[in-house]
Structure 1
Amino acid sequence: MHKSNSKQIIAILFLTLTVNFAFAQKKEFRETSVDSLTFANNRKILNSLNTDAFEKKIFIKENIQIPYRLLIPKDKSNSQKYPLVITFHNSTRIGNDNENQLEPFAKIWLRPEIYNKYQCYVIAPQFSKRSSNYEKNSEGIQVSKPSEDVFALLELIQNVEKEYPNIDTNRIYLTGYSMGGSTAQNLLHIAPDKFAAMVSVAAVPDFSNLKKVSRKNIWLIHGEKDDENPYIGSVELFSKLSSNKKMTFTTFRKLNHNNIVIPFLLTEEIPKWLFEKRN
């Protein structure tokens, strides 16, 4: 074979492999540890933030009432479009005080460096009962099913969009931890075209609309030592969405259910990842 032809073939193969790698699913393992001091310190910093910037609202539809908090972009301009983030709380925050849903994972958006750099609207709803319920499927895997309140959230979001027309409807994001991560998955499966990306942490998976979510930007985060919401659920979801080239699955080998969000509380990793995504 001619030498120049050989070089061309090698170049083509290299380009093909590079392109395939670039558009393939991403599966990563992190060895991060969280000691008790880091756990307490990171949570303390977030819990010390003043939440008054989150306005208190309530959504009412027939027999459904959903209290929620709404964060407005720090330097809001009517001539600019802003993303919208919906953040869902875990099951220990169930209630109707319109306070407790602002867990540390939701307060990320209040950190001064995030509030200044990643300006957006943030909705933090609170559920008076479980927003996602769990059951085992025919494969023996625990899966999540949405409550009726989750379906009502679509109207809540539409109302906020009407009130604030400078929301960028191509950049609406879902985030959540534990039950909240499951609820984020539920809502993405209900209305996949509505949302540009989702970060789901330590969740019980939803397999109900896999074909439609196989083209969505999804970041699954789970601790391998999670004995509350089994890690195998995220493994199965990642496997079932093998055709989704916009999916990332991050496993923390040393973390469990209770400390999985700690590495993200004082970084900009989640806001940065979300803001790069659009419909």
Structure 2
Amino acid sequence: MKKQLILCYCLLIALPLYAQKLEIKKLPFDSAAFSMRKNQLNSLNTKPFEKLTYHTTGTVLPYRLLSPKETKSNATYPLVIALHNSSRLGIDNENQLEPLTRTWLTAEMRTKFPAFVLAPQFENRPTQYAFNETYQVMTATPQKNLQALLELVIKISKNPQIDAKRIYLIGYSMGGSTALHLLNQKPTLFAAAIAVAGVPDFSNLTRIRNKPIWLIHGKQDDDNPFLGSEKLFEKLKGNTKARFTIYENLNHHTITYPLLTTDELAKWLFKWKLIIP
């Protein structure tokens, strides 16, 4: 009987470790501190992000590529695809380096989380939104220009210093939606994805059901409604690698504030490895 009680207790303790993770937070919002942090990140020298261009049939895709500060000859490193929001559309190969992407440039991040970071820039939206009657939320549909990025990621991933088991997606707003598109289209390519204030893609639920996915959304978001992430998390029920962080008092424009001062996003991404049969 004693052994049975101990076993039950151990199972109860272990249960949360194997369940979806839902976090509800309320963050004291300090606009002055937020502005200061954004200014710090925007003042960083972006030269380490090499300027490059990918040409494919009918598409020219500007992109920046950050390499680890120091690379060891026999070592491999993760590849992070950092995806921009819709206000950064263009072809200047500059504007896609929004504050969330620039966090990878800080000395601390480059030391603690050495990685290749790919930051593409779309001239036109790689995703379009429309209300979905089936799911009763706004959903996202990928556009043809996303194919060029997939081709580029596959090409870059052949670099022998990139670990093919550690290719990650992270994006904010339109970038979060784009991250979900890429994961749906190529779940066997990406190890994990973070979508911040994104619009969901339900096109391949059966294939992403067991993927590591972290959804982050502000409950006050009127631009990309919070209900979309909530519905996706609900559809991922049973996915023990799914995580949903809700900031009750943040909106679409303030949701990145707590993400610019922490390395939790990188920590979470880097703990996952793609399982290749």
TM range (shorter): over 0.9
Q: Does 2:271 correspond to 1:243?
A: no
Indicate the residue corresponding to 1:205 in structure 2: 200
Which residue, 159, 174, 178 being the options, matches 2:155? Answer: 159
Q: How does 1:19-30 map to 2 (within 5 A)?
A: 19-30=14-25
Residue 142 of structure 2 corresponds to residue 146 of structure 1: yes
Contact 1:33/1:255 (CA < 8 Å) preserved in 2? no
Which one-letter code corresponds to 2:150 in the other structure? L
2: CA distance, partners of 1:273 / 1:196: 11
Q: Deviations over 1:120-169 (max 9, x none)?
A: 0000000001111101112331001111121222210122123x211000
Q: State how far apart, in whole Å, the 2-side matches of 1:244 and 1:105 are.
A: 27
Conserved 8 A contact 1:189-1:212? yes
Give the Cα separation in 2 of the matches to 1:235 and 1:267: 24
Structure 2 equivalent of residue 103 of structure 1: 98
TM-score, normalization by structure 1: 0.96
Q: Which amino acid aligns with 2:218?
A: G
Deviation per residue, 1:164-199 (Å, 9 max, x gap): 211000000000000000000000000001111111
1:10 aligns with 2:2: no
Q: Distance in 2 between matches of 1:131 and 1:34?
A: 31
Give the deviation of 1:262 after TM superposition. 1.1
- Asked if the contact 1:151/1:187 (under 8 Å) is kept, the reply is no
Instruction: Supply the distance in 1 between the matched residues of 2:57 and 2:64 (Cα, whole angstroms).
Output: 20
In structure 2, what is the Cα distance between the partners aligned to 1:249 and 1:213?
A: 15
Show structure 1 runs of 5+ residues with no match: none
Q: What SS is found at the alignment partner of 1:96?
A: coil
What amino acid is aligned across from residue 91 of structure 1 in structure 2? S
CA RMSD in angstroms comes to: 1.0
SS at match of 1:194: coil
Tell whether 2:189 aligns with 1:178. Answer: no
SS of alignment partner, residue 145 of structure 2: helix
Residue 278 (structure 1) aligns with? 273
Distance of 1:248 and 1:98 partners within structure 2: 32
Q: Per the alignment, in what secondary structure is the counterpart of residue 13 of structure 1?
A: helix
Give the number of aligned pairs.
273
Contact 2:89 2:122 in 1 (8 A): yes
Q: How does 1:16-95 map to 2 (within 5 A)?
A: 16-95=11-90
Give, in whole Å, the separation in 2 of the partners of 1:152 and 1:11.
55
Give the CA deviation at 1:215: 0.8
